[in-house]
DNA sequence: GTCGTCCCAGACGTCCGACGTCTCACGTCA
DNA sequence: TGACGTGAGACGTCGGACGTCTGGGACGAC
């Protein structure tokens, strides 16, 4: 195994074992390199790799720190990876979202506050009846994220965020050319919101499932 | 933005745009560094980072290649990230698994072959009535993976693999000290298998849910 | 002709030393 | 007391040198 890979494993070990805790500062590069028995260049490759996936936070002129290691932060790296997938796997990602999002929406029904409901309603109102594709994609993202965030499970929230981030969603909408796609989407969003306001978890789950299923159906037909 | 980060973005762009396709070989480090306008050292940091998340495959003495970019491969990096999460987030991961796994198990009911059913049954038989904790963890992993793989969705499969890989599962079992945990788990596995053999998707889903819920319950009580 | 072996060009792996750039903290001065 | 300048120290980048490994071609035995 290359010394750089060893260094990655050792740094990982120091964090997992608790020797390095979230927020801790690492020894400076030259010292850590000496301690791990490799050159500064090779160590930097290890640090850079761990920094890409948000394990470490490198600040020029200051030092290198362990991040908070929050699920939200670590799963951010997921969207980076998801960007690489080819178009022909979009349907598989959508199928996973179809499993997760209805569950998250149902969980939100019991927890969402009146204030948050009003915020979501305001979003939909501002979007109007005939938004542009860019506005719709942004609004769609914001709407679902707002709901999922109140599910109370940060892992679930981050996972959905990563799986259906801006890039994926844009790819989906690029494939949706049907006339009534926009109006049906807006209608379904309002139905989900109404179910949440009624605290009806099952209705919310069903509307969320139907919402994603219809997107899936359109997409399957247009591929 | 640092030159290394720029290099990461440029290489990502080359892949996403299709200029570099899965399996393609990159120019040698010195040439690519010159083309991107940075030193070989800095370029290596970028390549190393992309290699950690399985975007690139570096072979000493040969060259650097784009991987297959299969969901299965890319989501492998997920388990690396999951290893860093603290114990207090295990329940959140388990809650997500409780959403995904029943769905995957239900999907498998319609697709699993008689041969695969026999393989799973053989696994359970070999495990016996009183396996060690290590054997049980390994068997548990193998059993669920065998089912999920027949769901037909590689993204779903890889995601579950990453979320509940060896490390996470070992952490869960470490917390399970109750006497009847082992026998109840084995019983539930057999129930899931019976439902699959009956092609009863709803029964399979319910048993999978109950199975994870009981693990969740034990874990919550023992934390 | 086929197969196995040897050898080497070429690519990645590692290291060193130097210098640039940025932060933070400290001390100065109004 | 506050703003400002300055310097030590950390990361950022570079070029070159050498080590290590792989793949493929040349060569010879069968």
Name the nucleotide nearest B60; use CA and C1': C12
pLDDT tens string B139-151: 999 999 999 999 9
Do B106 and B214 have their domain in common? yes
- State the average pLDDT over residues B20-34: 97
Do B96 and B192 have their domain in common? yes
Among residues B69, B89, B112, the one where a domain terminates is: B69
- State the average pLDDT over residues B78-90: 89
Do B150 and B133 have their domain in common? yes
In strand C, the nucleotides that come within 7 Å of a protein beta carbon are 9-17, 20-24
Interface test with B, best of A7, A18, A45 (most B CBs within 10 A): A45
Do B90 and B180 have their domain in common? yes
Which helix H or strand E contains A5, and what residues bound it?
helix A3-16
Which tokens is A50 given? Answer: 């761990």
- State the average pLDDT over residues A137-149: 93
Among residues A69, A88, A106, the one where a domain terminates is: A69
d(CA A159, CA A175): 23
- For B41, residues 6+ apart whose C-beta sits below 8 A from its C-beta are A41
- For B102, residues 6+ apart whose C-beta sits below 8 A from its C-beta are B204, B205, B206, B208, B209, B212
Interface test with A, best of B90, B99, B157, B174 (most A CBs within 10 A): B99
Contacts of B53 in chain A (CB under 8 A): 52-53, 77, 80-81
C-alpha distance from B66 to closest chain A C-alpha (Å): 11
Structural domain range at position B218: 74-222
- Judge whether A48 is closer than 8 Å to chain B, CB to CB: yes
Look at chain A and report how many structural domains it folds into. Answer: 2
C-alpha distance from A197 to closest chain B C-alpha (Å): 23
The predicted pLDDT at position A177 comes to 64
CB-CB under 8 Å, A52 with B154: no
pLDDT tens string A166-210: 777 777 777 666 667 788 888 999 999 999 999 999 999 999 999
- State the average pLDDT over residues A151-167: 91
Worst-scoring range by mean pLDDT, A92-106, B67-81, B166-180, B205-219? B166-180
d(CA B160, CA B167): 13
Query: If DSSP codes are grouped into helix, strand and coil, which group holds residue A53?
Result: coil
d(CA B82, CA A96): 19
Burial letters B96-108, b for 16+ CB under 10 A, else e: bbbbbbbbbbbbb
Query: If DSSP codes are grouped into helix, strand and coil, which group holds residue A57?
Result: strand
C-alpha distance from A188 to closest chain B C-alpha (Å): 23
Three-class HEC string of chain B = CCHHHHHHHHHHHHHHHCCCCCCCECCCHHHHHHHHCCCHHHHHHHHHHHHHCCCEEEECCCEEEECCCCHHHHCHHHHHHHCCCCHHHHHHHHHHHHHHHHHHHHHHHHHCCHHHHHHHHHHHHHHCCCCCHHHHHHHHHHHHHHHHHCCCCHHHHHHHHHHCCHHHHHHHHHCCCCCCHHHHHHHHHHHHHHHHHCCCHHHHHHHHHHHHHHHHHHHHHHC
Q: How many residues does chain B have?
A: 223
Do A133 and A35 have their domain in common? no
**CATH number, domain at B53?**
1.10.10.10
Do B130 and B42 have their domain in common? no
Rg (CA), chain B: 22
pLDDT tens string A13-33: 999 999 999 999 999 999 999
C-alpha distance from B184 to closest chain A C-alpha (Å): 26
Q: B14 near B4, Cβ under 8 Å?
A: no
Do A10 and A101 have their domain in common? no
- Among chain A residues, the shortest Cα distance to B51 is held by A49
- Is pLDDT at B189 greater than 80 in this prediction? yes
Contacts of B101 in chain A (CB under 8 A): none
- Is pLDDT at B132 greater than 70 in this prediction? yes
CB-CB under 8 Å, B84 with A156: no
The predicted pLDDT at position A173 comes to 73
**CATH number, domain at B200?**
1.20.120.530
d(CA A104, CA A85): 24
Do B104 and B171 have their domain in common? yes
d(CA B100, CA B39): 45
Å between CA of B45 and C1' of C10: 21
The closest CB to that of A48, out of B4, B69, B78, belongs to: B4
The predicted pLDDT at position A179 comes to 64
The predicted pLDDT at position B176 comes to 67
- For B130, residues 6+ apart whose C-beta sits below 8 A from its C-beta are B182
Å between CA of A25 and C1' of D4: 29
Do A183 and A164 have their domain in common? yes
Do B62 and B141 have their domain in common? no
- State the average pLDDT over residues B127-136: 81
Which helix H or strand E contains A64, and what residues bound it?
strand A63-66
Dihedrals φ, ψ of A50, to 5°?
A: -70, -25
The predicted pLDDT at position A124 comes to 93
Rg (CA), chain A: 22
Among residues A44, A69, A94, the one where a domain terminates is: A69
Do B214 and B105 have their domain in common? yes
Dihedrals φ, ψ of B56, to 5°?
A: -115, 150
Burial class (CB in 10 A: 0-12, 13-18, 19+), B179: exposed
The predicted pLDDT at position B63 comes to 97
- Judge whether A41 is closer than 8 Å to chain B, CB to CB: yes
Do A118 and A61 have their domain in common? no
- Is pLDDT at B199 greater than 70 in this prediction? yes
The closest CB to that of B153, out of A8, A83, A92, belongs to: A92
**Predicted confidence band of residue B117 (pLDDT cuts 50, 70, 90):** very high
């Amino acid at each position: 195994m290359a010394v750089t890979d060893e260094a990655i494993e050792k740094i990982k070990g120091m964090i997992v074992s608790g020797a390095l805790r979230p927020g801790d500062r690492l020894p400076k590069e030259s010292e850590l390199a000496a301690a791990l028995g490799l050159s500064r260049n090779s160590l930097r490759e290890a640090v850079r790799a761990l920094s890409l996936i948000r394990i470490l936070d490198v600040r020029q002129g200051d030092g290198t720190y362990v991040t908070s290691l929050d699920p939200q932060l670590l799963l951010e790296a997921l969207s980076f990876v998801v960007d690489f997938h080819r178009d022909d796997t979009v349907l598989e990602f959508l199928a996973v979202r179809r499993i997760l999002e209805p569950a998250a929406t149902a969980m939100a029904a019991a927890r969402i506050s009146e204030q948050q409901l009003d915020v979501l309603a305001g979003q939909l109102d501002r979007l109007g009846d005939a938004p542009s594709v860019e506005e719709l994609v942004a609004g769609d993202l914001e709407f679902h994220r707002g709901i999922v965030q109140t599910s109370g499970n940060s892992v679930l929230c981050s996972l959905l965020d990563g799986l259906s981030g801006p890039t994926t969603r844009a790819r989906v909408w690029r494939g949706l050319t049907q006339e009534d796609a926009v109006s049906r989407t807006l209608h379904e969003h309002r139905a989900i919101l109404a179910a949440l306001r009624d605290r009806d978890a099952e209705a919310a789950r069903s509307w969320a499932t139907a919402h994603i299923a219809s997107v899936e159906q359109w997409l399957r037909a247009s591929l």
